[in-house]
Amino acid sequence: MYKIIAKEKLCPVVDLMEIEAPAIAKKAKTGQFVVVRVDEVGERIPLTLADWNAKKGTVTLVAMQVGTTTYKLSCLNAGDSMPDLIGPLGLPSEIENFGTVVCVGGGVGVAPVYPIARALRQAGNRIITVMGARSKDLLFWEDRLRSVSHELIVTTDDGSYARKGVVTEPLKEVLERDKQVSRVIAIGPAIMMKFCSLTTKPFGVRTIVSLNSIMVDGTGMCGCCRVSVGGATKFVCVNGPEFDGHQVDWDLLFARQRIYCDEERHSLELWKTRQCQHA
């Protein structure tokens, strides 16, 4: 069993959990993820390692409530345990001194961007970070990102905090003004990563995205996380999760993300009904 030793609400729909998992914490590398099972009969879901502490033997996960499993996860508290936490999975991020790197985090994507920006900064890069959310109440970790960035730009879609608009607008401006940018890392909703990739393409700047396809085993066995990158079939769990955003077949990813929409909606309604009956 994997014990939750601390829980923090980062915003109304996003929870941070620090979990005892010494073997994973010892091996964890930037950009990797775990597969979690919240209860004995639960499905498996992938969550990125937002941080880890090898000495303490803990990993930190940041999860946004979007459906049954993430709602169930948000009901757990410090002291509770979960039956399965498998990892670290996936290939680590490429960390080198590239020069100037723009890190873009959208919504809950801010959490996986943080350890990457930190590692790139430690490797000697100049870090420009753009972080965005739909509104002020969905923003978190501005302080953490500021601490690892030479420049930080914050956006909200509705203008309730900082600059009004979406992350692609400042991203374009940075690329126009700073010809030294050698790499962009964009993590967030798939639609955001697609538009970041479209924004950077005319500038010819290599753009890395972390794909969030549906996963089951997380070890390359089930084929569930299949995507097409540069015309070749790739499995996000073992060949990724990071890929060249200019090569991703985004329409295929969107279509495969929606495959179980009806079942997911039905499952959430059922779970909420049961919660109300037990309340």
The neighbour count for residue 97, using CB atoms within 10 Å, is 12
From the list ligand FAD, ligand FES, Mg ion, none, pick the one residue 35 interacts with, judged by a Cβ distance below 5 to 8 Å according to partner type: none
Contact 77, 7 (CB under 8 A): yes
Q: Give which of 250, 228, 231, 254 is closest to 240, Cα–Cα.
A: 228
What gap in Å lies between CA 1 and CA 57, rounded to an integer?
Answer: 14
Least CB distance to ligand FAD at residue 180 (A):
30
The neighbour count for residue 232, using CB atoms within 10 Å, is 9
Least CB distance to ligand FES at residue 258 (A):
17
Task: Determine the size of the site formed for Mg ion (CB under 5 A).
Answer: 3
From the list ligand FAD, ligand FES, Mg ion, none, pick the one residue 111 interacts with, judged by a Cβ distance below 5 to 8 Å according to partner type: ligand FAD
Least CB distance to ligand FES at residue 34 (A):
13
- 182 in contact with ligand FAD (CB under 6 A): no
- The binding site for ligand FES (CB under 6 A) comprises 215-218, 220-225, 235, 237
What gap in Å lies between CA 141 and CA 67, rounded to an integer?
Answer: 23
What gap in Å lies between CA 57 and CA 23, rounded to an integer?
Answer: 7
Nearer to ligand FAD, 64 or 186 (CB): 64
- 106 in contact with ligand FAD (CB under 6 A): no
Least CB distance to ligand FAD at residue 198 (A):
21
Q: Give which of 261, 217, 251 is closest to 236, Cα–Cα.
A: 217
For residues 61 to 80, the per-residue mask of contacts with Mg ion, x marking binding by CB under 5 A and - elsewhere, is: ------xxx-----------
For residues 211 to 250, the per-residue mask of contacts with ligand FAD, x marking binding by CB under 6 A and - elsewhere, is: -xxxx--------------------x----x---------
From the list ligand FES, Mg ion, ligand FAD, none, pick the one residue 218 interacts with, judged by a Cβ distance below 5 to 8 Å according to partner type: ligand FES
Nearer to ligand FES, 76 or 252 (CB): 252
Least CB distance to ligand FES at residue 229 (A):
14
Q: Give the tokens for residue 233.
A: 């079939």
Burial class (CB in 10 A: 0-12, 13-18, 19+), 160: middle
Strands of 97-251 (E only): list them.
100-106, 126-133, 151-156, 163-164, 181-187, 206-210, 226-229, 232-235, 242-244
Least CB distance to ligand FAD at residue 241 (A):
4
Q: What angle do CA 42, 45, 47 make, to 5 degrees?
A: 140
Judged by the rule CB under 6 A, the positions of this chain that interact with ligand FAD are 33, 45-48, 62-64, 66-70, 108, 111-112, 212-215, 236, 241, 257, 261, 264, 268
